[in-house]
Amino acid sequence: MIYDIEFETMPREALEAIQARRLQATIERVCATVPFYQKKIAEAGLKPTDIKSLNDLKRLPFTTKQDLRDNYPFGMFATPMENVVRIHASSGTTGQPTVVGYTARDVQTWSMLMARSLAAGGATRGDMIHNAYGYGLFTGGLGVHYGAERLGASVIPVSGGNTKRQIVIMKDFGPTILTATPSYTLHLAEVAAEMGVSFENLNFKFGIFGAEPWSENMRHEIEKKLNIVAVDIYGLSEVMGPGVAIECHEAQQGLHIFEDHFIPEIINPETGETLPYGETGELVFTSITKEAFPIIRYRTRDITSLNPEPCVCGRTHVRMNRVTGRSDDMLIIRGVNVFPSQIESVLMEMSGVEPHYQLVVDRVDNLDKLTVRVEVGEGIFSDEVKQLQDMERNIEKNIKDLLGVSAKVKLVEPKAIERSEGKAIRVIDNRKI
């Protein structure tokens, strides 16, 4: 179902006219109210009135996570605190947390976009939503909650944790939709199995999963273990929270970005240059309706591409493909941008398992040399040397086909790849540049 027919299926031309108008207004506002933007935009040699069309967007400076940290806690707010009705913060696991705020109207917009998202995933008024996203500083729990109420569905605010009780609630209440992070969902499946509860006997039709990177493989695992359809949702607190983009259940091929509220761009993470539709690069967002925490050209660090093709569901909003990596992990090998996650997807496609692998880059005679070390687990082991050699050649060929880079594949024993805090070290760059 399409929640907001008018805006979600608006012809591109009209949509772009709205975007341009809202962009102009946003730039005027941030230059008037946020010293950070005022200074940065002036330093770029621009006045708010220079931003006349969508084409002018690329002239504006980027905003980074570090900028948000530097302005901790409220330096990026565009309105006095008396207009702010809600504050969220991202976890500070990799440094200072980033703090975001919402006016009453922002909360309304967010609720409406989450209602759109739930509807795009397949939810209607009659559904009961088991919301296992954490409630708190994290935007996931409350974001889904307000959207569910806005849509008119029944929401169970179960939050994260206390997993056994969650299974009992699933059995007794019979919710039809599960919202959770993919990893917690797999944990729920495990605990249910331990308790002897089969998802086949529960009432779930589908689930909406996001808030952390997950692979196509994980999607299949969730769909199999929970006997449901798994829908992908995207969002980040710096831009708003969940509900920035959603997969429509009709196509399930990419996530529609709600372009009447956010303008997406794909850039080359090295040069900052804007890339055309279809090319892979870093996703950048500009919010164009937010009041308390507008954000201009925010570098998400997420690697993806945009697909402008019309969708069978009727929505006209551009689709972003599944996030395949983080720009921080990007390697440039013989001039080609390579993301470890691309190699990972090649390996996964071939073996059907999450492989442990490592990219080693050396410079030999002024040429970059990429070696991919792959741990041989039981899933890919064979007692026949020839089969193992064929597999090495096939991986090399698939990497070459997909990335356009020659690599040497080297099979290694389990645990041969160094781990750091339990995670394999993905990249070793021995080049001295």
Partner 1 sequence: MHVEQISVFLENTAGRLAEVTSILSENSINIRALSLADTSDFGVLRLIVDDIEKAETTLKNHGFTVGKNRVAAVEVEDRPGGLNDILQLLFEAGINVEYMYAFVRNSGDNAVMIFRFDQIDDALKLLEEKGVRAIGGSTLYTL
Alpha carbons 353 and 22: distance in angstroms, whole number = 46
- Let me know: does 241 contact 86? Beta carbons within 8 Å: no
Least separation in angstroms between residue 428's CB and partner 1 is 17
Give the one entry of partner 1, Zn ion, none that residue 388 binds, where binding means its C-beta sits below a cut-off of 5 to 8 angstroms depending on kind.
Answer: partner 1
Give the one entry of partner 1, Zn ion, none that residue 251 binds, where binding means its C-beta sits below a cut-off of 5 to 8 angstroms depending on kind.
Answer: Zn ion
Least separation in angstroms between residue 274's CB and partner 1 is 43
- Let me know: does 216 contact 223? Beta carbons within 8 Å: no
- Using CB under 8 A as the criterion, what x/- string covers residues 381-420 for binding partner 1? xxxxx--xx--------------------xxxxxxx----
CA 263 to the chain's CA centroid: 15
Nearer to partner 1, 75 or 377 (CB): 377
Give the one entry of partner 1, Zn ion, none that residue 248 binds, where binding means its C-beta sits below a cut-off of 5 to 8 angstroms depending on kind.
Answer: Zn ion
Which of 114, 284, 311, 370 lies at the binding interface for Zn ion (CB under 5 A)? 311
Q: Mark the segment that binds Zn ion (CB under 5 A) among 251-259, 265-273, 375-383, 406-414.
A: 251-259
- Residue 73, preceding peptide bond in cis (omega within 30° of 0): yes
- Let me know: does 134 contact 141? Beta carbons within 8 Å: yes
Q: Binding to Zn ion by residue 251, rule CB under 5 A?
A: yes
For residue 65, how many other CB atoms are within 10 A of its CB?
17
Residues 6+ apart with CB under 8 A from 223: 229, 230
Least separation in angstroms between residue 423's CB and partner 1 is 18
Least separation in angstroms between residue 221's CB and partner 1 is 22
Least separation in angstroms between residue 336's CB and partner 1 is 25
Q: Which of residues 312-351 bind Zn ion (CB under 5 A)?
A: 313, 315
Alpha carbons 291 and 119: distance in angstroms, whole number = 25
Alpha helices by DSSP H, listed for 96-162, are 104-121, 139-151
Q: Which of residues 101-120 bind partner 1 (CB under 8 A)?
A: none
User: For residue 344, what is the enclosing H or E element?
Assistant: helix 340-351
Alpha carbons 299 and 301: distance in angstroms, whole number = 6
Contacts with partner 1 by CB under 8 A lie at: 376-378, 381-385, 388-389, 410-416
Contacts with Zn ion by CB under 5 A lie at: 248, 251, 311, 313, 315
